[in-house]
Amino acid sequence: MTEFDRLAHAIGACRQCADRFAATPTGHDPRPVLWAAPGAPILIASQAPGTRVHASGRPFDDQSGARLRDWIGLDEATFWDRSRVAFQPMAFCFPGQDAKGGDLPPPPICAATWAAPLRAALGPARLTLLVGGAAQRHHLPRALTARGLSATIAGWGDLPADVIALPHPSWRNTHWLKANPWFAQELLPLVKARVRAALADAPLAQPGRGD
């Protein structure tokens, strides 16, 4: 059994948040969703499963996933091919919902327990996509995230070529997408080019707007 196999078994058996989840309105049991394999060239670092993913056991198996695949230019077969794309959420389990039906934030204990050993077991990715503010704050220096999500994403030229920050593809961000047309017009073509290059083991495209 490899180190990754041992870790995957431990994450799958984790019940650290059982009492926390039982106290939410959904009152659900932990269901860790780990979808990764060592050596995948693309790492998608994201937030936490929602209700659909909690039911299916597959990351981004919902409308957010359809939008994310469109953004990064991947079909379903490639997106869910563990040898090509690994997922590292801030929490592996659905955190539950508040009284208004909004998703609760990822329990911090999950990343505190599993993030570092998982990254070590997976090895370096050629391209890391940081999806949402929680993943960006976890993986990037504070100096790059202190001005908020829009500034972090808009400052793509300040990030290393192997890291891209994206908003969460939730329908809740549709207004943000309309208010920031540069995201689709300028950043997404670069994202697609880097994803293609990462999968082809080719050099990653540099920013094209001179910043």
The residue ranges that bind ligand SF4 (CB under 6 A) are 11, 14-17, 30, 32, 91-93, 107, 109-110, 113
Between 10 and 188, CB nearer to ligand SF4:
10
> How many CB atoms neighbour CB 62 within 10 A?
20
How many Å apart are CA 184 and CA 154, to the nearest integer? 11
Residue 42: φ, ψ to 5°: -115, 130
Between 41 and 95, CB nearer to ligand SF4:
95
Shortest gap between Cβ of 94 and ligand SF4 (angstroms)? 8
Shortest gap between Cβ of 22 and ligand SF4 (angstroms)? 11
Between 109 and 116, CB nearer to ligand SF4:
109
Extended strands (E) in the chain: 42-46, 85-89, 127-131, 163-166
Position 95: which residue type? P
Shortest gap between Cβ of 23 and ligand SF4 (angstroms)? 13
Contacts of 48 (CB under 8 A, 6+ apart): 89, 90, 91, 92, 93, 94, 95, 103, 105, 106, 110
Between 24 and 113, CB nearer to ligand SF4:
113
Shortest gap between Cβ of 48 and ligand SF4 (angstroms)? 7
